[in-house]
Amino acid sequence: MEYAQLDSKEWSHIVARLGGEDALASSAREHRAFIRARGVKSAVDVLRLALLYGPGGHSLRSVAAMAAAAGLADVSDVAVLDRLKCAADWVESLCKERLARIAGEIGVKPTERSIRIVDGSRLEGPGDRVWRLHLCYDAGLARIVDAVITTTKDGERLDRLTVTPGEIRLGDRGLPQPDGIRNTLAAGADVVVRLTWNSLQMTTGGKPIDWLKLFKMASEQGSLDMPVRVHKAHSRFEPIDMRLVIIKKPPGAVTRARAKARRMSRKNQRRTDPRTLAGADYIILLTSLEREEFPIELIGALYRLRWQIELAIKRLKSILHIDRLPAKHPDLVRTWLHAHLLLALLLDDITAKLDAISPSATEFATNLALAQDRPPRGRRACRHLAAA
């Protein structure tokens, strides 16, 4: 999308969604992104340059040329570089303001539990610096509700992004850490996270888990649902009472998982652990949800909603190209990344208002998905699962 070609009406809509010219000018001064008009006339024009350079996909030289041709600014590519480096804190603050506004609009609904999925993705650019995008995606609202961009020094955690009381937080295999689980539960949420057999230290009946025995039981019964206690190795840590859910994968997924396990063993030049090979047949989930309210079939259906955040990350990468970093300077990278995130949040504002699926059709899709072991689709389907 070429922002220099946006007409004044289109651009005014974007500015209005961000609070208007006066609000943007005030926040730009606060973060020292725009102090005085020299070459670039206003804070709004600085933002436009950031969007041209970030999701617009143009080089600094192209941005300078396009800005001059459109009468936006008469500056060199070096001047654009300096302006955008100074705008890093400001564009990041605009993203935080959007997310805060989303949180305020959504609020906490006591009669409806939100289903929120967290995940992270690496963003690699030139040089040796790698960044990480952390996202929280609300499955019912079909939109990003929290996000942060860090370096890889800050790893993925279940509680890295804001936890809302009453939510059900879903996470993949990289997220089950004892402290993160405890902090999420302490904030008033429930969790459903995927495991491998060696992700966490757990006991049942006061004894360490015998995974081969559990996998054999799951094979005989088709699935397994049992209480466990989560511990933290080499640390004083009050154990957490949870549920361990083991669900058999479809035959095709079993074949692929076993092949991947063997391939990784050959790559690492070591023998495949029997527990790894046996565990490849199953989806292993850990949850704090009560069995009476959320039986094993519903836990599986909840976890299968995780594909939604994978699609959100794919859209950021394949459509907005957030992973194609052209810059090395940390501040320029931050401006570039947060310009992409800001655009994604603005797009979510528009698409979140489109909810054309009728309740009856969505409930039918949900029930059919549960019966056929397929992920339910649609926002109300997610709400139906959360309220079940």
Lowest mean pLDDT among 90-99, 111-120, 326-335, 339-348: 111-120
Both tokens assigned to 40: 């670039």
221's enclosing H/E stretch is helix 211-221
DSSP secondary structure code for residue 3 in this structure:
G
Strand, coil or helix: 165: coil
213 pLDDT higher than 60: yes
Quick one: average pLDDT of 254-269? 80
324 Cβ contact partners less than 8 Å away, ≥ 6 residues apart: 57
Q: CB of 196 within 8 A of CB of 215?
A: no
Residue 111 confidence (pLDDT): 55
Would you call 290 exposed, middle or buried from its count of C-beta atoms within 10 A (0-12, 13-18, 19+)? exposed
State the angle between helix axes of 60-69 and 77-86 in degrees (0 to 180), rounded to the nearest 10.
100
Mean pLDDT, rounded, of the chain? 85
Q: What is the pTM of this model?
A: 0.84
Residue 108 confidence (pLDDT): 61
DSSP secondary structure code for residue 188 in this structure:
T
* Proportion of the chain above pLDDT 90, given as a percent: 60
Q: Can you tell me the distance from the alpha carbon of 66 to that of 74, in angstroms, rounded to the nearest whole number?
A: 10
- Residue 74 has a CB neighbour count (10 Å cut-off) of 12
Strand ranges across the sheet with 201-204: 143-151, 130-138, 115-124, 168-171, 190-195, 282-287, 240-248, 223-231, 201-204, 207-208
Residue-wise pLDDT tens digits, 43-83: 999 999 999 999 988 999 999 999 898 888 889 999 999 99
Residue 353 confidence (pLDDT): 64
Quick one: average pLDDT of 77-106? 92
Residue 238 confidence (pLDDT): 92
Residue 364 confidence (pLDDT): 37
How many Cα atoms within 13 Å fall on the side-chain side of residue 257?
17
Block residue for tokens 């990041």:
92
7 pLDDT higher than 60: no
Residue 356 confidence (pLDDT): 39
Residue-wise pLDDT tens digits, 128-153: 789 999 999 999 888 999 999 999 88
Q: Can you tell me the distance from the alpha carbon of 241 to that of 230, in angstroms, rounded to the nearest whole number?
A: 7
Q: Can you tell me the distance from the alpha carbon of 166 to that of 293, in angstroms, rounded to the nearest whole number?
A: 14
Q: Can you tell me the distance from the alpha carbon of 342 to that of 362, in angstroms, rounded to the nearest whole number?
A: 30
330 pLDDT higher than 80: yes
* Proportion of the chain above pLDDT 70, given as a percent: 87
166 pLDDT higher than 70: yes
Where along the chain do its domains lie?
3-86
Residue 375 confidence (pLDDT): 44
* One-letter-per-residue 3-state SS of 118-138: EEEEEEECCCCCEEEEEEEEE
Give me the amino acid identity at 90.
Answer: W
Q: CB of 328 within 8 A of CB of 129?
A: yes
Can you count the helices (H) and strands (E) in the chain?
Answer: 15, 10
332 pLDDT higher than 70: yes
Strand, coil or helix: 218: helix
369 pLDDT higher than 60: no
Residue-wise pLDDT tens digits, 168-200: 999 998 899 999 999 999 999 999 999 999 999
Q: CB of 184 within 8 A of CB of 165?
A: no
Q: CB of 369 within 8 A of CB of 381?
A: yes
Lowest mean pLDDT among 112-121, 297-306, 310-319, 354-363: 354-363
Strand, coil or helix: 241: strand
Q: CB of 199 within 8 A of CB of 228?
A: no
Residue 110 confidence (pLDDT): 57
| Higher-confidence position of 127 and 103 | 103
| Higher-confidence position of 378 and 74 | 74
Residue 22 confidence (pLDDT): 94
